[in-house]
Amino acid sequence: MVRVRVVCAVLATTAFAACSAPVQLPAPDPSEQAKIPGSAGIGDPYYPEDGNGGYDVTSYDVAVSYDPTSKRLEGDTTVVATADAALGGYHLDLTGYDVAAVEVDGSPARFTREGDHELVITPATPVAAGAVFRTRVTYAGVPKISEDAALGVSGWQIAKSGGAFVAGEPHSASSWYPVNDHPLDKATFRLTAKVPDGWRVIANGREESTTSEGGWTTSTWVEPNRIAPYLTTVGIDKWTLVRSTLADGTPVVDAYAPGTEDKRQVESRLPEVLEFLAGKFGPYPQSAAGGIFLNESISFSLETQTRPIYAKWAGLEVIVHEQAHQWFGNSVSLERWADVCLNECFASYAQWLWDEDKNRVDLDKLYRTTVARKTDSYWNRKLVDMGAGNEFTAVYDKGQLAVHALRKQLGDEKFFTLLKRWTSEHRDGNASWADFTALVTEVAGTDIGPFLDAWFHQAGKPGDEYLYPAGLRK
Better-predicted residue by pLDDT, 11 or 95: 95
Q: Give tens-digit pLDDT for 406-462.
A: 999 999 999 999 999 999 999 999 999 999 999 999 999 999 999 999 999 999 999
**CB-based contacts of 224, cutoff 8 Å, min separation 6:** 188, 205, 206, 287
pLDDT surpasses 90 at 275: yes
At 151 the pLDDT is 58
What is the SS3 assignment for 365? Answer: helix
Better-predicted residue by pLDDT, 12 or 205: 205
pLDDT surpasses 70 at 32: no
Superfamily (CATH) of domain 336-471? Neutral Protease Domain 2 (1.10.390.10)
pTM recorded for the entire structure: 0.92
pLDDT surpasses 90 at 473: no
At 8 the pLDDT is 34
At 152 the pLDDT is 67
pLDDT surpasses 50 at 20: no
For 1-10, 193-202, 302-311, which range has the lowest pLDDT when averaged over its residues? 1-10
Average pLDDT on 137-156 reads 83
At 45 the pLDDT is 94
At 120 the pLDDT is 97
pLDDT range class, residue 17, cuts 50, 70, 90:
very low
pLDDT surpasses 50 at 247: yes
At 28 the pLDDT is 55
CA distance 394 to 294: 26
At 472 the pLDDT is 87
pLDDT range class, residue 145, cuts 50, 70, 90:
confident
pLDDT surpasses 70 at 150: no
Q: What are the extents of the domains in the chain? A: 32-141+171-227, 336-471
**32-141+171-227 CATH:** 2.60.40.1730
At 334 the pLDDT is 97
For the CA atoms of 405, 411, 413, 415, what is the dihedral angle to 10 degrees?
-20
At 11 the pLDDT is 31
CA distance 329 to 70: 35
What is the SS3 assignment for 311? Answer: coil
At 451 the pLDDT is 97
Query: Do the beta carbons of residue 88 and residue 187 sit within 8 Å?
Result: no
At 457 the pLDDT is 97
Indicate the average pLDDT of the chain: 92
pLDDT range class, residue 33, cuts 50, 70, 90:
low
- Contacts for 306-309: CB closer than 8 Å, 24+ residues apart: 306/204, 306/205, 306/223, 307/202, 307/203, 307/204, 307/233, 307/253, 307/255, 309/165, 309/167, 309/233, 309/235
Q: Three-state SS string across 336-350, please?
A: CHHHCHHHHHHHHHH
Percentage of the chain with pLDDT > 90? 87
Average pLDDT on 243-269 reads 97
pLDDT surpasses 80 at 25: no
At 400 the pLDDT is 98
At 34 the pLDDT is 64
